[in-house]
Structure 1
Amino acid sequence: MTSDLRPVGDDTDALRLLRTGTVQVEGQLVDASNTTLRGVIAADGLTARCVYKPIRGERPLWDFPDGTLAGREVSAYLVARALDWPMVPPTVLRDGPFGPGACQLWIDEPAEVTPLVDFVPADQVPPDWLPIAAARDPAGTAYALAHADDPRLARMAVFDVVVNNADRKGGHVLVGSGDRLYGVDHGLCFHVEDKLRTVLWGFSGRPLPDGAEPALGRLRDALGGPLAERLAQLLTPAEIAALTVRTERLVTDGRFPAPPAERSAIPWPPV
């Protein structure tokens, strides 16, 4: 199926479709930790593929309250919009075939797309890539987990620090049409404690990328107004306060943080 809808800077049509369209489930993404369904959504002559994550299919976690992951997915989209960095596909909280859940526009990657995060032979790391961890395959061959030194990834890394993303795997970084970069799977975000686990540590210690300071300023202003009101329907007051603190700290520091030494800093599996 070819979608009649493409994500653009103005997500008005996509959001209207996601909120009001009829969802027909096509199948399940079996590698996902929580129930993740792909479907077709249609309304008013528009059709698109979507990802539907019903709350009833969320796996209980020891450190995140039950039934909150869908709201965190929507919160991540709202924060990306406030930054004016449309890197999270349009996402809404709505009822569906299996009850309330997050519904997100599906992103089709081109047939021939080069991953921006991957394991590469340790002696063949591209010169414009940043290695972050050493690894070996079952035969003992040395590999490096590395990612491209790409300004789009740098912006995504800023976003992940702000939302406290505990699960930025390489497979959660998608390249859509026009080489536009998207991040998906944001259910494990917004914890009040430091939970940042990411494969984008190559930027650690560097100054924030161009455009980060005004973007963070936009987010800071939005958190003092309507955005906080919308997030209050999805997150706890403590989580919103922690989001504000992380935003302020990143503006003050002006640099990417270093990975923590006292806990795992990379999600598993990384890609």
Structure 2
Amino acid sequence: MPASNATFVGEVCGTTVVYKPIAGERPLWDFPDGTLAARERAAYLVSEALGWDVVPLTFLRDGPHGPGMVQVWQEPDDAEDAVTVVRDLRERPGWLHVFDGVDDRDHEVALVHEDSAALRRMAVFDAAINNADRKGGHVLPMAGGHRYGVDHGVSFHTDPKLRTVLWGWAGSPLDADELGGLHVLAEALDEDLADALAPLLTAFEIEATRRRVARLLRVGALPIPRGDWPAIPWPPF
């Protein structure tokens, strides 16, 4: 599969999976080497604690190229869309505008995303895990309206690094469902979830996650872009 890290598609017990070996992880300046697979597993555990099914089943497993991350393959629905680029905002009435730009032919375009509960939950999840790479292609629109998020290897940093294309709700109040999920997550981070994350993240990263969740609950709103850090991953798809 095309990716910045070595990424393979295979089968485990007849189930199609994505396999990313640790040996194929590209070194990054701001994340420790060899930790991306563990962060992907950690993101799945947080998704499960929230109860929102944002991340497909993800686990660590030895494979043909050594230990790595294995995730159950999800086939998106070609008829569905969640994040896209349009030339005219009237093409997607009711969608949320994120930013304007020009395409490879110098046509003015805008990046927009749908205004759905499933995608909002993903935005809240990203804020909790400090996701530094929510590109449009990392959102899988499934049949029936469900939205999966994938590629969470650059998450859980102790420094604020949220980069996402899902800024359409920036600053908007969290709803009761979102607040409820975050309360459950906060409790889990003080109990069994912290133990499950301990082999995957540092103690400082787990504590930073607690602080982010506590801040989301205290502020009661989705975050807004920071002026000292790029808000959009590049390229955005």
Give the TM bin, normalised by the shorter chain: over 0.9
Measured after TM superposition, the shift of residue 127 of structure 1 is 2.2
2:228 is the alignment partner of 1:262? yes
Q: Which runs of 5+ in 1 are unaligned?
A: 1-28
8 Å contact kept, 2:161–2:229: no
8 Å contact kept, 1:125–1:131: no
Q: How many residues align?
A: 237
Measured after TM superposition, the shift of residue 125 of structure 1 is 4.6
- Cα deviation, 1:168-213, whole Å, max 9, x if unaligned, reads 0110100234332100000000000000000000100111134011
- Report the counterpart of residue 68 of structure 1 in structure 2: 35
What is the TM-score normalised by the length of structure 1? Answer: 0.85
What is the TM-score normalised by the length of structure 2? Answer: 0.97
Measured after TM superposition, the shift of residue 80 of structure 1 is 0.5
Q: 1:265 to 1:125 in 2, by over 3 A?
A: farther
Structure with greater contact order relative to length (CA < 8 Å, sep ≥ 6) = 2
Q: 1:136 to 1:248 in 2, by over 3 A?
A: same
The one-letter code of the counterpart of 1:41 is: V
Percent identity over the alignment is: 51
Q: Which runs of 5+ in 2 are unaligned?
A: none
Q: Which of 107, 116, 121 matches 2:74? A: 107
SS in 1 for 2:26: coil
- Report the counterpart of residue 241 of structure 1 in structure 2: 207
248-257 vs 176-185, greater mean Cα deviation: 176-185
Aligned residue runs from structure 1 range 157-196, under 5 A: 157-196=123-162
SS in 2 for 1:214: helix
Distance 1:144 1:177 in 2: 25
The one-letter code of the counterpart of 1:80 is: S
Distance 2:187 2:207 in 1: 14
Distance 1:260 1:122 in 2: 27
- Report the counterpart of residue 3 of structure 1 in structure 2: none
8 Å contact kept, 1:71–1:93: yes
The one-letter code of the counterpart of 2:175 is: P
8 Å contact kept, 1:151–1:209: no
SS in 1 for 2:63: coil
- Report the counterpart of residue 208 of structure 1 in structure 2: 174
Measured after TM superposition, the shift of residue 243 of structure 1 is 0.1
Q: Which of 180, 187, 193 matches 1:227? A: 193
Distance 1:130 1:54 in 2: 36
SS in 1 for 2:43: helix
